[in-house]
């Protein structure tokens, strides 16, 4: 049976199963919590613990990537909204992102343009923690519940199951999203404690991203007045950084472009564990100098790898584990450029992220298969409240308008912060159907949706090897 047909049938069966579960839920739920669009407190569904699991799980997170970011990127690149590499995935759902104490109500969202930017909004710490642990927490919290109790990360479950694990990002390795998968902290701003836990405690096999103490936002060496190196240890205890860079923490350390490229193209035999720090401070590319309003017009930093290169290198390493792997890959610049309402660089960062998605899909089809690997593409939240021009109160939601490939689309940011909008979830591969029954509510615009903590529960199920005794 060909793969598409198989998934078509599977998705169809799962939808029927999902509808059955939804019906069951309505019958058994005493408070009728799903009727008004509010997420009920208790959850109605979890996958059968006896179902076989995927060997490999790949989670791609576009930080701040809402539906309209996806549309804007697509119409800029292709001139239309139907050519995305993941646009043909058989299962596409929506997801709520609010933190502990928040809520999403579809009727309110679509009745008032400002509703989604007026209430309680999440951040990458709380949303990342929900996806990593299956538990809601408050804004700013990393891997801890609202009371400060540590939560179990999906990476901890994956490691107990014998899998290799990795976090890869286009921003600082100690920033909220990778931190939410590897660390526990009362504050996302405790960078040094977070990186210390990642290096010394977590046990993750691959850490890749930016935050290099010796380089600035343009990839130039930080030098003092006498032209001596002047590192900025914003994100590391100096002793941790010095030891990890010397290869003394159990990681092989790389930071040169050629090493990242050799690892990605197979020229370099992957080491057992790897700490890869691109030679730049903030984003791989998004904070570089330049003021152009045209995507990719400002010259790129030539000494740093792309997110796609990082992702391929990490996959080449973790895929050597016969028990499989879990990897989280983040496009972190989408959020940053959307906070700035920077149209051109938001498009750039979307395209850099989607290049990584394409590289991962190609890697799965060349080196693995959809029969053993599960791929999820989603976002932690939407940033910038991006809509077409002319949108606004009371309830005008104009779509992103295309101006043809290569020309910025009609797109306007209506906020400099995060919004409470639903975000998209694209999923393909072994076990994907098991996510469907979680999506037991329906938004009139986005369709069936689940909650980000439910995605976290699902991920922990997906990496939980049935052979192992878990605590």
Nearer to Zn ion, 72 or 374 (CB): 72
> Smallest gap, in angstroms, from Cβ of residue 381 to Zn ion?
7
> Smallest gap, in angstroms, from Cβ of residue 467 to Zn ion?
39
Spatial contact of 33 and 40, defined as CB atoms under 8 Å apart: yes
Spatial contact of 279 and 219, defined as CB atoms under 8 Å apart: yes
Alpha carbons 400 and 28: distance in angstroms, whole number: 41
Nearer to Zn ion, 335 or 354 (CB): 335
Nearer to Zn ion, 197 or 382 (CB): 382
> Smallest gap, in angstroms, from Cβ of residue 281 to Zn ion?
18
DSSP state of 303: T
**Closest residue to Zn ion: CB criterion:** 335
* Binding site residues, Zn ion, CB under 5 A: 335
Spatial contact of 99 and 133, defined as CB atoms under 8 Å apart: no
DSSP state of 40: P
Nearer to Zn ion, 55 or 418 (CB): 418
Nearer to Zn ion, 259 or 348 (CB): 348
Alpha carbons 151 and 144: distance in angstroms, whole number: 5
Nearer to Zn ion, 353 or 363 (CB): 353
- Coil/strand/helix, residue 10: helix
Alpha carbons 95 and 77: distance in angstroms, whole number: 25
Closest among 146, 139, 168 to 155, alpha carbons compared: 168
Nearer to Zn ion, 95 or 432 (CB): 95
> Smallest gap, in angstroms, from Cβ of residue 398 to Zn ion?
24
Alpha carbons 195 and 179: distance in angstroms, whole number: 8
Give the C-alpha distances (Å, rounded to integers) separating 224 from 214, 227, 229, 233.
Answer: 11, 5, 6, 14
> Smallest gap, in angstroms, from Cβ of residue 383 to Zn ion?
5
> Smallest gap, in angstroms, from Cβ of residue 105 to Zn ion?
23
In 3-state terms, the chain is what percent helix, strand and coil (to 5)?
Answer: 35, 20, 45
How many CB atoms within 10 Å of residue 118? 12
Spatial contact of 376 and 363, defined as CB atoms under 8 Å apart: no
> Smallest gap, in angstroms, from Cβ of residue 47 to Zn ion?
31
Nearer to Zn ion, 330 or 335 (CB): 335
> Smallest gap, in angstroms, from Cβ of residue 116 to Zn ion?
15
> Smallest gap, in angstroms, from Cβ of residue 340 to Zn ion?
11
Helix locations, 324-387, DSSP H: 333-339, 343-367
Spatial contact of 348 and 77, defined as CB atoms under 8 Å apart: no
Dihedrals φ, ψ of 413, to 5°?
A: -85, 130
> Smallest gap, in angstroms, from Cβ of residue 64 to Zn ion?
6
Dihedrals φ, ψ of 26, to 5°?
A: -60, -35
Nearer to Zn ion, 66 or 143 (CB): 66
Nearer to Zn ion, 62 or 437 (CB): 62
Residue 244: which residues within 8 A CB-CB, separation 6 or more?
199, 236, 251, 253, 275
Nearer to Zn ion, 411 or 432 (CB): 411
> Smallest gap, in angstroms, from Cβ of residue 66 to Zn ion?
12
Residue 461: which residues within 8 A CB-CB, separation 6 or more?
46, 47, 49, 53, 434
């Amino acid at each position: 049976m060909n793969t598409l047909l198989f998934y078509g049938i599977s998705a169809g069966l799962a939808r029927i199963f999902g509808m059955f579960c939804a019906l069951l839920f309505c019958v058994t739920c005493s408070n009728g919590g799903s009727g008004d669009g509010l997420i009920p407190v208790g959850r109605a569904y979890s996958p059968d613990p006896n179902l076989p699991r995927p060997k490999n799980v790949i989670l791609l997170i576009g930080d701040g990537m809402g539906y309209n970011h996806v549309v804007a990127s697509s119409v800029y690149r292709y001139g239309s909204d139907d050519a995305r590499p993941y646009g043909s995935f058989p299962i596409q759902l929506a997801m709520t992102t609010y933190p502990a104490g928040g809520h999403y109500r579809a009727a309110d969202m679509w009745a008032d343009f400002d509703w989604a930017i007026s209430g309680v909004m999440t951040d990458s710490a709380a949303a990342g923690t929900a996806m990593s642990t299956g538990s809601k927490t408050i804004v700013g919290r990393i891997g801890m519940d609202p009371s400060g109790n540590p939560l179990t990360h999906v990476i901890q479950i994956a490691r107990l199951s014998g899998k290799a694990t990795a976090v890869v990002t286009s921003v600082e390795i100690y920033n909220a999203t990778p931190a939410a998968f590897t660390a526990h902290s009362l504050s996302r701003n405790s960078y040094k404690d977070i990186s210390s836990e990642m290096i010394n405690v977590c046990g993750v096999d691959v850490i890749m991203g930016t935050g290099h103490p010796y380089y600035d936002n343009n990839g130039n060496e930080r030098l003092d007045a006498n032209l001596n190196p002047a590192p900025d240890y914003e994100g590391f205890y100096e002793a941790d950084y010095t030891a990890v860079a010397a290869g003394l923490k159990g990681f092989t350390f790389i930071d040169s472009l050629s090493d990242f490229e050799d690892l990605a193209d197979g020229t370099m035999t992957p080491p057992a564990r790897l700490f890869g720090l691109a030679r730049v401070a903030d984003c791989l590319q998004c904070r570089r100098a330049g003021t152009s309003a045209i995507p990719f017009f400002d010259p790129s930093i030539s000494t740093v790898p792309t997110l796609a290169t990082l992702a391929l290198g990490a996959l080449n390493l973790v895929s050597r584990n016969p028990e499989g792997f879990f990897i989280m890959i983040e496009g972190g610049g989408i959020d940053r450029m959307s906070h700035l309402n920077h149209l051109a660089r938001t498009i750039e960062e979307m395209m850099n992220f989607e290049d990584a998605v394409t590289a991962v899909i190609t890697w799965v089809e060349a080196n693995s298969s959809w029969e053993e690997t599960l791929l999820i593409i989603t976002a932690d939240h939407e940033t910038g409240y991006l809509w077409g021009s002319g949108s606004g109160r009371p309830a005008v939601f104009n779509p992103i308008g295309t101006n043809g490939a290569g020309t910025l689309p009609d797109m306007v940011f209506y906020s400099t912060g995060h919004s409470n909008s639903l975000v998209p979830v694209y999923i393909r591969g072994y076990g994907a159907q098991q996510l469907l029954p979680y999506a037991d509510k329906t938004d009139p615009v986005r369709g069936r949706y689940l909650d980000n903590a439910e995605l976290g529960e699902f991920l922990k199920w997906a990496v939980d090897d049935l052979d192992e005794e878990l605590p």
